[in-house]
Every structure is written in structure tokens, then in C-alpha cells.
């Protein structure tokens, strides 16, 4: 297999990790898609997602699933992990979470298609599942 240009990846291979404290400060990185002529699905399952309620400031826990068909670029998983971690102290509604993730990934890699599903743990006896897609 030929060596791909991965010089743009800045978060891999460091002995220390800097955790961003908000999605605005997080950096989604990408690498060239070696199979850009083919449609295939990449799926990330993030079962330990955490954000904070914008009203009560209580933690919200959920499972985020990201499914996308890459075009020229693929998401680098460590950068994605740090990006999702950045929501830990971010106050936001569940519906905003999935839409924000879609928007940020589309901006970073311009996939052919993306779907983000958030299954959030119950609060007050009600669980919420929110899903956003692009293109809509």
C-alpha cells in the first residue's frame, strides 16, 4: 500500500494530550481517503458521551453514533475523540448536540452523507433520541 500524506495530522503521536474544554476549541482532523471512488460507510460508536444541561447544569450521558460516507477525506479517530470529549463541560440541548456534530464534521471533511444519532439516558423518566443527517 502506498504511503499517504498524513503530515496534516497534529494530534497523533504525542506523549501528552491536551483536552479542549469546548467544541469551539476542538480540532477535527482528517486524512486522505484511499478509496474515494467507492461508497462505503464509516461508523463510530461513542457510548460514553457526556454534555451538560443548559438549564440545570447537570451532566447528561448518552451514546452518539456517527455514520458517514467519506468523499476525499476521512475523520481521524483521536481528533474525533477529543472533539466529543470537549462537550463534557459544554451546556447544550440533546437536539443541538447531534446537529452541531453534523455541521462540524461537514465543515471539516465534506462527506457524501452523514447521519448522527444521539441516544441519551433518561432524565425525569424520559429518554431522548435525536438524529440529524446531511444532506437533509
Does 9 map to a domain?
no
Q: Which of 21, 24, 45, 60 is catalytic?
A: 60
* Residue 115 banded pLDDT, cuts 50, 70, 90: very high
Domain count, the chain: 1
Q: Is the pLDDT of residue 2 over 80?
A: no
pLDDT for res 67: 98
Q: Which of 53, 63, 103, 104 is catalytic?
A: 53
Locate 40 and state its grid cell: 462505503
Q: Which pTM does this prediction carry? A: 0.88
Does 53 map to a domain?
yes
> pLDDT tens across 65-91, in order?
999 999 999 999 999 999 999 999 999
Helices (H), the chain: 77-85, 94-109
Does 1 map to a domain?
no
pLDDT for res 8: 64
Does 25 map to a domain?
no
Does 130 map to a domain?
yes
Burial of 96 (0-12, 13-18, 19+ CB in 10 A): middle
- From the list 45, 52, 47, the residue with the least C-alpha distance to 94 is 52
CA–CA dist 61, 122 (Å, integer): 9
Domain around 77? 40-134
> pLDDT tens across 20-65, in order?
889 999 999 999 999 999 999 999 999 999 999 999 999 999 999 9
- Catalytic residue check, 60: yes
DSSP assignment, residue 18? P
Does 109 map to a domain?
yes
- Catalytic residue check, 46: no
Does 17 map to a domain?
no
Section 107-117 average pLDDT = 98
Does 12 map to a domain?
no
- Give the CATH number for residue 128: 3.30.1130.10
Amino acid at each position: 500500500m502506498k504511503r499517504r500524506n498524513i503530515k496534516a495530522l497534529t494530534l497523533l503521536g504525542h506523549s501528552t494530550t491536551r483536552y479542549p474544554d469546548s467544541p469551539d476549541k476542538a480540532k477535527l482532523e482528517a486524512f486522505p481517503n484511499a478509496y474515494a471512488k467507492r461508497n462505503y460507510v464509516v461508523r463510530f460508536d461513542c457510548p460514553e458521551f457526556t454534555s451538560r444541561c443548559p438549564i440545570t447544569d447537570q451532566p447528561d450521558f448518552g451514546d452518539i453514533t456517527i455514520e458517514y460516507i467519506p468523499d476525499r477525506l476521512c475523520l481521524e479517530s483521536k481528533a474525533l475523540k477529543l472533539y466529543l470529549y470537549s462537550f463534557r463541560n459544554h451546556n447544550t440541548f440533546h437536539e443541538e448536540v447531534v446537529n452541531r456534530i453534523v455541521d462540524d464534521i461537514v465543515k471539516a471533511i465534506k462527506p457524501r452523507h452523514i447521519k448522527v444519532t444521539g441516544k441519551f439516558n433518561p432524565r425525569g423518566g424520559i429518554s431522548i433520541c435525536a438524529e440529524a443527517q446531511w444532506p437533509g
